[in-house]
Chain A
Amino acid sequence: MDYPTLLVQAAVNGLVIGTMYMMMAVGFTLVFGIMRVVNFAHGEFYMLGAFAAFFTYAQWELPFVVCLLIAAVTIGVLGALLERAIIQPFRSDELSGMIATLGLSVIIQNAAIVMWGPTPRSMPNVIDGVLTIGPFTFPLSRLLVIVAAALIFAAFWVFMQRTRTGRAMRAVAQDAETALIQGIRVNTIYPIAFGISVALAALAGVLMAPIFSVSPFVGLTPMLKAFVVVILGGLGSVPGAVVGGLLLGLIESFTATALGSLVADILQLLLVILILLVRPWGLLGQKEA
């Protein structure tokens, strides 16, 4: 294959992966920025989204948009309930909260194994066919992911900037004490924020289901990447998660194409170490005292 085609292919794949990383990272960093919670079960919600897609799309053959909605709503509500039951009791004890989310991840993953079995399943593409522009061909299934992710993120952005709940969440993230004084009810904000966070993860799972397979074990890698992205972009920074996610996806795609996926993985981890040494608060994070 000639270089331009290779480059363009790598770029498209990079954007596809990048949007998934972005969605995982935004959810993860949102919960940390607002609630100071590190959710080690974040990857399992991605996995639940993938299974939701499998059942609603592959088995019940519902329209894809409906599948997205069902996944987001059911898993979002589940997240909100879990926040009340498991995250809330540890609001003053960060360490115990982290360990609790670890326990949660173990339960969710193994429950999936028990209910659905460990064998990976494949999901058909949502759209077949290609789009040809000049000498380049883009698979429509890949473009769909990019477009869908962009739309989802746009909706998220509007929610955060324009709605009262969204603004309240941003206020809490900036300065919890002042937000409380202003009468913002933390007990309502936190479950909603958590629900949105895991809904984003679930949507990422839905979008990626046709590309990667669906199994109870698919949650670990996306969560790992989310960690890398938030370290790069800055813990608590949503813009950092967006930029970091897309950047990581592109870097990964290009290095994998050029040097193989193993080198790509190692390079990423080296990048993390470098950032931690030189600029630990990330590209766009806040330098805290």
Chain B
Amino acid sequence: MDTVRDGISLLSYFVLPIILVGFPLYGIIKGVPVYESFVEGARDGFQVAVRIIPYLVAILFAIAMFRASGAMEALTKALDPALSLIGFPAELLPMAIIRSLSGSGSAALVVDMINHYGEDSILVKMAAVMYGSSETTFYVIAVYFGAVGIKKTRHAVPAGLIADAAAMVLAVWTVRLLFG
């Protein structure tokens, strides 16, 4: 297991340099005016960043309000009895809810839980697996759909949330299976 992990992380050191050096190098071999191409493509960077601002602001401020209002704690309390039925620890519920909403918020929760329960505890392991095995769905939606101006997201939100919910429950089960 360790050698596999070392191999993968060793490989990941090379991916970025290969892209950074390999693309222009290959381009110049193929006779592409690489500098001109780069500048032309890079020009979009600013527009894309500006284009996603309204989407990001819309998502982030609504989620910030929700967290600040105390509704999060109420939701946690309301869902607790249902989740204890499937063996989901109540301590992890805030993490499960916030994982789809806010990346920095869920990282803060992991830190908080490490301070509270210690790195070795099974709860922290579950929280870390939750953090590592899923993305901040609403951020991804805001950035990716914002960049191309998609406003009608159709089934993107339910699909993302179903996948998140599955990942949260699976995180608890796998950790319990391995360390419980």
Do A and B pair up? The answer is: no
